[in-house]
Structures are given as structure tokens and as C-alpha cells.
Amino acid sequence: MILVIEQLLNGLQYGVMLFLMAAGLTLIFGIMGVINLAHGALYMVGAFVGTWVATETGSFWLGLPAALVAAMVTGVVVEALVVRRLYARDHLDQVLATFALILIFNQLVVLIFGRQPVFTPMPELFSGSLEILPGLFYPMYRLLIIATGLVVAIGLYLLINRTRVGMLVRAGATNRDMVRALGVDIRLLYTLVFGLGALLAGLAGYMTGPILSVQVGMGEQILLATFVVVVIGGLGSVKGALVAGLGLGIVDTMLRAFLPTLLLHFMEPSDAQAVGVGVSAMGIYLLMAIVLLFRPKGLFPAEG
């Protein structure tokens, strides 16, 4: 039972990461109609720059703002130089241009930081474990990630539902032309949204650092899972990103944790391990297939 709760929390923590990524991606699509394959690259940039600063200074907390700023600045520059030219283009051009960005960013990171995986130092304050239930010691750092995700979710909720920018964002998600017609400085809004998405990706990337290794290609792994989240949640819906992100995070983690052991009852240990890992990696995609059968537009389709 304790094991299950522990894995549930792990799933929640992974789900939070997926949410941070998916929220940005879905907002960017919702407002600007752009599919950004390079979203994972921003995640990677945040992780690398933040980790570098943290390692140089020996402080996790100095790495954090560095990660956020690096990802956001990269995002804003990418928006200004590349993505801005893609708004009026078709999806094929968007896919290709942002795919090119992935190739470029991956190689740049190799050139600057090398191929060796690195680890982000754990913040000392959160390096221990907390006894959250009798007998269940859970790493404080993972709790910090979960808490961060919840704070971001609430922050986004307030931003979208209580501010002027949020009003535009909401209007933009349902009716893009209307926002254009409102005479708002659409460029600024786009840059802001893109920067925000990049910042969230950078946050996710950096926060992952102490748990998983920071390495080239880390962005693509999470990007594909993020796509599944966005598709299941409904394109353009932040609420969908939250629900689907947490849900998939939990499903994925539970499968990985328990499927190989379950399979031990049916097959050889070595096979059970490999098949269990493979099938649990397929889990979220199968889930997506099922959702598509019943809700082709996802759980929370944006109206319009």
C-alpha cells in the first residue's frame, strides 16, 4: 500500500512536469495557431543553463532564475526570428521550421556543454525525506515539484481568468480573428505568450535536473508525451493540459512501476522486464487511441 502511494506521488510529480510543458504548448497553439516542435528544446535549454549556473555557484537557487531567464530569452528570440514568420504559414512549414530548430539546438548544446549527461545539485533544504504517512518517507524535493506545479496551475488560472491579458488569451483561443480585430498589439501578446510558454518549459527542465540526468535529447522524450497530453486534454485548453497531464503522469508511472512485476507471473524474468518496460512505455499512447475513439477533439475541446 505504501508502495502504491509512493508511486502515485511519483506519478503526480511526473504529471506536473507534463502539465508545465503542455500548458505552454497548448497556449501557444491556442493563441497563435502554431505547432512548436521546438518546445522540448526550450526545456533542454532551461535545464542546461540552470544546471551550469548551479554547478558553478554551487547553489540550486541561483540556477533557478538563470534557467527561467535563459529559456524565456531563448523563447522570445526564437519567436522574433523564426516563429513570427510562421503565423500565416501552413502547418507543414511550421513543423519543418521548428524541426530545424530542434536539430540546431541539439547540436549547439553538444557544442557548448558536450554530450556527457550532467546532474543538477539538489537544493540542500529539500534533499531529505519527509514522513508524510506513518512509514512512508517521501523525498522532499519531489514534493517541492508537485507544489510548484500546483502553484503554477493556480497562477495560470488567475492569469487567464482575472487579468486583461488573460481575457485576450481566452478570446484568442476561441476566436483568433476577434483578438486581431480588437486592435490589441497582437505582436506583443504573442511574444508574451511565447515567452511564458518558454519559461514554463525552462522551469520544467530545470526542476527535472536533480531527478533525471540533463542531456541532449531530453527535450524530445518529454515533447512526445506532451503531445499526447495536449491531444487528450484538447488543443488550446489549459484545463485539459492539467487534467490530462496529471492523469497521464500517474498512469505512466504506475505502469512502469508495477507492470514488469505483474508480468513476472506470466513469463521469464528477463522477458518480463523488457516487455513490461516496453508495454508501459506504450501505455499513454494506447490511452490516447482510446480517447480519440470517443472524443476526437480531446476531453476539453476549446470552443469555436
Under the rule (CB under 8 A), what is the footprint of another protein? 29, 33, 35, 82, 85, 89-93, 95-97, 99-104, 106-108, 110-111, 220, 224, 227-228, 230-231, 235, 270-271, 274-275, 277-279, 281-282, 285-286, 288-289, 292-293, 296-298, 303
- Grid cell locating 288: 490516447
Nearer to another protein, 127 or 221 (CB): 221
- Give min distance, CB of 229 to another protein, in A: 10
- What b/e readout covers 63-97, taking b as 16+ CB neighbours within 10 angstroms? bbebbbbbbbbbbbebbeebbbebeeeeeeebbeb
Q: How far is the CB of 152 from another protein (least distance, A)?
A: 23
Smallest gap from Cβ 76 to another protein, in A, equals: 18
Q: Are 43 and 202 in contact (CB under 8 A)?
A: yes
Dmax of the chain from CA atoms? 66
| Residue of 140, 55, 170, 38 whose CA lies nearest to 99 | 38
Least distance in angstroms from the C-beta of 4 to another protein: 24
CA 139 vs CA 18, 60, 299: distances in Å: 19, 16, 32
- Closest CB to another protein among residues 251, 288: 288
Contact 33, 177 (CB under 8 A): no
Tell me whether residue 89 or residue 170 sits nearer to another protein (CB atom): 89
Rank residues 111 and 181 by Cβ distance to another protein and give the closer one: 111
Amino acid at 16: V
Nearer to another protein, 201 or 228 (CB): 228
In whole angstroms, the minimum distance from the beta carbon of 260 to another protein comes to 11
- Which residue, 141 or 227, has its beta carbon nearer to another protein? 227
Q: Is 244 helix (H, G, I), strand (E, B) or coil?
A: helix
- Closest distance to another protein from the beta carbon of 177 (Å): 14
The three cell numbers locating residue 304: 469555436
